[in-house]
Amino acid sequence: MKKVILDVDTGVDDALGILLAVRSGELDILGITTVNGNVSLDQATVNTCKILQLAGAEQIPVVRGADKPLLRTTYFEHRIHGKDGLGGALKDMPVNKQAEDGHAVDFIIEQVRRHPGEVTLVMTAPLTNLALAIMKEPALVQQVKEVVVMGGVVQSFGNVTPSAEYNIYVDPEAAKLVFKAGFASLTLVGLDVTRKALLTEEHIASLGDSALARYVKESTAEYMQRYYERNGVRACAMHDPLAVGVALNRGLVTTKSYYVDVETRSELCDGQTVCDFQNRLSQEANVQVCLDVNADEFLQLLTRALRD
Ligand code: BDR
Ligand code: CA
């Protein structure tokens, strides 16, 4: 089984990504590291523990990471994910599972060192933890098998500013460092493809009436409402689950290698992922950019995993 570490800021879609990873039965999840992002580090950690309880997967270690971006202030997304990050869906669930001692940065370094060439990092949050890990242990870059990042957008518009996607916008210095680190395989699952991976009310209805199905319905209600207000369609984009989907089955997406950098010094464009489609900067490609997705196949994979 593919060994993975998930790095999350557990909001509504991170939670569905975790559930997909756990319930696929096809991944050896070494641990889940948490980071500030959609919600505070504390809230992201509690949410992750609750989701693992819901999935009956309490044995998976959860390790806390950075509580703020490298240089910038926090930028929560309560508007989209609700005050608690899970759309209020598990607000009454007692938290029995605790995070492990230690820091996410050390956890990532240690696990990759223990399994050289075998670990896939699935990053569905601002890239602060991985940037800190690279700074602390540069040799990590050569030991990681592959990195899959939900983040960025190269052919369309942003979802925080006109040009920036949330995970990159929140910690652009971290993203820049990760993109330029020299990983053998770094795949960018950006808004170009995640916006095509839409979970609809019909998908949710098809999940039945299990506790899990009820959770999915409740947690996505507000998230869908926001999407509806902006796009006039009752659906929500499965950003983070698609990154997990790509780790499970690369054939879901079409990718092309390009040089990608991140803007960090612009009033209007900070956090923009600039993709050098015509190689005007004469740099070596550093990122496999997802340009298309087989959305139906992915949504089948996701709904199958969420059905009892
Ligand atoms: C990303 O931003 C967050 O709000 C989501 O959890 C996802 O990781 C989408 O832009
Ligand atoms: Ca996320």
Known catalytic residue at 239 = yes
Q: At 262, give phi and psi (nearest 5°).
A: -120, 130
In the structure, which protein residues have their CB atom closer than 6 angstroms to any atom of ligand 1? 11, 13-14, 38, 77, 80, 124-125, 150, 159, 165-167, 239-240
What average pLDDT does range 239-264 have in this prediction?
A: 98
Q: Return the C-alpha torsion angle 244, 114, 183, 34, nearest 10.
A: 50
Q: What is the pLDDT of residue 308?
A: 73
Pocket mutation for ligand 1, best pick of 124, 127, 168, 242 (most atoms within 8 Å of C-beta): 124
Ligand 2 centroid to Cα of residue 206, in Å, is 25
Of all atoms in ligand 1, which is nearest to the CA of residue 150?
A: 8
Q: How confident is the model at residue 81 (pLDDT cuts 50, 70, 90)?
A: confident
Q: What is the pLDDT of residue 198?
A: 97
Query: How far is it, in rounded angstroms, from Cα 174 to Cα 162?
Result: 20
Mean pLDDT estimate for the chain = 97
CB atoms inside a 10 Å sphere around CB 277 = 12
Q: How confident is the model at residue 79 (pLDDT cuts 50, 70, 90)?
A: confident
Q: How confident is the model at residue 34 (pLDDT cuts 50, 70, 90)?
A: very high
What average pLDDT does range 201-229 have in this prediction?
A: 95
Q: What is the CA radius of gyration of the chain?
A: 18
The protein residue with its alpha carbon nearest to ligand 1, atom 2, reads 166
Q: What is the pLDDT of residue 80?
A: 86
Nearby residues for ligand 2 (ion, Cβ within 5 Å): 9, 14, 124-125, 240
Tell me the pLDDT tens digit for each residue of 167-205: 999 999 999 999 999 999 999 999 999 999 999 999 999
What is the complex's ipTM, to 2 decimals?
A: 0.99
Task: Report in angstroms the alpha-carbon separations of 56 from 82, 136, 213, 264.
Answer: 24, 34, 15, 41
Ligand 2 centroid to Cα of residue 34, in Å, is 10
Task: Report in angstroms the alpha-carbon separations of 154 from 111, 164, 179, 282, 300.
Answer: 32, 9, 14, 18, 26
Percentage of the chain beyond pLDDT 90 is 97
